[in-house]
């Protein structure tokens, strides 16, 4: 993801009500992420609805960033074609 600080929303009864599940998830997740990456697990109510909206927003943002990165390249290629 290229981020040094990440918040992860978690939904579900097991995470919400089990007295040790948060700590267990933190411990196991620490083994999976690159050293130096900070992360937080946060309880999210209505995770499916909010999760779907979040995924759509992130997908849109990623697509917009790709378009911005490709615009200078496209202009450069267009300039090359005009000059030849």
Q: What is the pLDDT of residue 68?
A: 85
What pLDDT, on the 0 to 100 scale, is given for residue 69?
Answer: 84
pLDDT at residue number 17 = 94
Model confidence pTM above 0.75: no
The Cα–Cα gap between 13 and 15 comes to 5
Question: What is the DSSP code string of 44-77?
Answer: -TTHHHHHHHHHHHHHHHHHHHHHHHHHHHHHHH
Distance, CA of 72 to CA of 54 (rounded, Å): 29
Report phi then psi at 39, rounded to 5.
-145, 155
Q: What is residue 10's three-state secondary structure?
A: strand
* Maximum separation of any 2 CA atoms in the chain, in Å: 69
Contact assessment for residue 11 and residue 44, using Cβ atoms and an 8 Å cutoff: yes
pLDDT of residue 54: 81
Q: What is the pLDDT along the chain (84 residues), one digit of tens a residue?
A: 678 888 888 888 899 999 999 999 999 999 999 888 999 999 887 767 777 788 888 889 999 988 888 876 666 656 666 655
């Amino acid at each position: 993801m290229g981020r040094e600080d990440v918040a992860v929303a978690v939904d579900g009864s097991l995470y919400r009500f089990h007295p040790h599940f948060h700590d267990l998830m933190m411990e196991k997740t620490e083994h999976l992420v690159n050293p130096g990456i900070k992360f937080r697990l946060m309880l999210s109510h209505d995770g499916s609805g909010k999760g779907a909206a979040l995924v759509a927003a992130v997908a849109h943002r990623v697509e917009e960033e790709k378009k911005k990165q490709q615009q200078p390249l496209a202009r450069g290629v267009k300039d090359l074609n005009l000059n030849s």
